[in-house]
Amino acid sequence: MAEPKWRSEGDDPDYRFTLANERTFLAWIRTALALIAGGVLLHEFAANVGPDVVVTALAVTLGLAAAALALLSYFRWRSNEIAMRRGGRLGYSWALPVLAGVCLVTAIVLTVFLALP
């Protein structure tokens, strides 16, 4: 695989920052894998928790959030690398509040279902 053009731009950042950026990328990937696992768990084992349509919708939402997070994590890693090479600022990520919102809504819905007799 050919090295991307942006890797030759600017100055090489301190390797510690590059490795920290990679660890952050891997943390986002682990979070995506956890969302996938949660969606599979809901779909397979939570049939008695609430209406099937709602449980399936939550499972699909978690799967879609995982896919979006996995894709976004690469672009976030790449933009951080480019910013460090150019000596620029690291960008803001709207993904964090969205991910927190998805988890919050899922937790509230499941809590309501579990609290109802």
The tens digit of pLDDT for each residue in 15-60 reads 899 999 999 999 999 999 999 999 999 898 887 888 889 889 999 9
pTM confidence score: 0.81
Q: Which residues contact 21 (CB under 8 A, 6 or more apart)?
A: 77, 80, 81, 84
pLDDT in tens, 68-113: 999 999 999 999 999 999 999 988 888 889 889 988 998 998 899 8
> How far is 32 from 70, CA to CA, in rounded Å?
6
